[in-house]
């Protein structure tokens, strides 16, 4: 019979090998655990949103990305909302949000990151930073929107994308929906047994970056969010230099309709637009 100490040593060595294998797999496959793109081509803009048009964004590294531009319905607020999606799906899932914002007098740009919605390329933190800059450049250079008339609206991972953009290209205001403090912090919530912070190549340091932004910030989050802990969204709000509003949608989980295009989110965007843009140019439309 083998010595108990020898068996214990072999068991420990086996478990260590398994752990190393798991860590190696997570290191090589981590982006597949972060990004969940809808890869099928999306339909034409006008087939989903009457009056919307298909546009193409040109990134600094030579990619052509699909996007939809949705004009504001009258009376217009004179503000355009650049929407940065979360880590899943494609822009067609944000069509109800764009429709609701358009009805509130706001123009909207929906776009898909590289690797999403039939776009070329593969998503990464650096790549998404290039993509959102292409979206902003389209609004400024092609549509002619003044930078101080653009609101950034970021959803979950997209909140990190627009926060980073705002450190270089300040917007009129920033709406962050379900932001996390940084990617490692939310990853640690879901994988508490792994050294997530040491493994992650993607950082997305939202709380650190929002503290450098001078534009007004509104944060909207779900009180029952099971993906991004509500306390992380609150921590981001507390780090903002100019917090305009902190809105809790009671009982809402991360992907509930209330946080995708619900009245609290739409109202938060319209309210910040009024704050930075002077309000409607006529009677408020029925919504």
pLDDT at 39: 84
Q: What is the mean pLDDT of the chain?
A: 90
Average pLDDT over residues 191-219: 91
Whether residue 282 lies inside any domain: the answer is no
pLDDT in tens, 128-161: 999 999 999 999 999 999 999 999 999 999 999 9
Total number of domains constituting the chain? 1
Whether residue 263 lies inside any domain: the answer is yes
DSSP codes joined into one string, 203-222:
---HHHHHTT--S-EEEEEE
Whether residue 283 lies inside any domain: the answer is no
- CATH code of 233's domain: 3.40.50.1820
Whether residue 285 lies inside any domain: the answer is no
* 27 pLDDT more than 60: no
Buried b (16+ CB within 10 A) or exposed e, 38-62: beeebeebeebbeebeebebebeee
Q: For residue 69, what are the domain limits?
A: 35-277
Q: What is the pTM of this model?
A: 0.88
Whether residue 91 lies inside any domain: the answer is yes
């Amino acid at each position: 019979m083998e010595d108990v100490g020898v068996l214990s040593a072999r068991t420990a060595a086996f478990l260590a090998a398994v752990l190393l294998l798991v860590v190696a797999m997570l290191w090589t496959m981590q982006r597949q655990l972060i990004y969940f793109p809808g890869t099928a081509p999306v339909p034409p803009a006008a087939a989903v949103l009457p009056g919307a048009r298909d546009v193409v964004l040109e990134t600094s590294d030579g990619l052509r990305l699909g996007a939809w531009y949705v004009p504001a319905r009258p009376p217009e607020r004179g503000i355009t909302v650049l929407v940065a999606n979360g880590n899943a799906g494609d822009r067609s899932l944000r069509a109800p949000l764009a429709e609701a914002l358009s009805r509130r007098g706001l123009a909207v740009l929906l776009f898909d990151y590289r690797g999403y919605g039939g776009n070329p390329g593969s998503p990464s933190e650096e790549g998404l930073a290039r993509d959102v800059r292409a979206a902003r450049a389209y609004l400024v250079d092609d549509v002619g929107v003044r930078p101080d008339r653009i609101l950034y609206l970021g959803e979950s991972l997209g909140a990190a994308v627009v926060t980073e953009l705002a450190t270089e290209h300040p917007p009129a205001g920033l709406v962050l929906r379900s932001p996390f403090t940084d990617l490692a912090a939310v990853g640690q919530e879901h994988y508490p047994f792994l050294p997530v912070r040491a493994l992650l190549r993607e950082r997305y340091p939202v709380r650190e970056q929002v503290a450098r932004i001078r534009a007004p910030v509104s944060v909207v989050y779900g009180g029952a969010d099971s993906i991004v802990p509500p306390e992380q969204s609150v921590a981001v709000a507390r780090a903002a230099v100019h917090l305009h509003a902190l809105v809790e949608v009671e009982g809402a989980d991360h992907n509930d309709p209330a946080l995708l295009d619900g009245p609290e989110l739409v109202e938060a965007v319209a309210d910040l637009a009024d704050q930075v843009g002077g309000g409607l140019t006529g009677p408020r439309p029925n919504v």
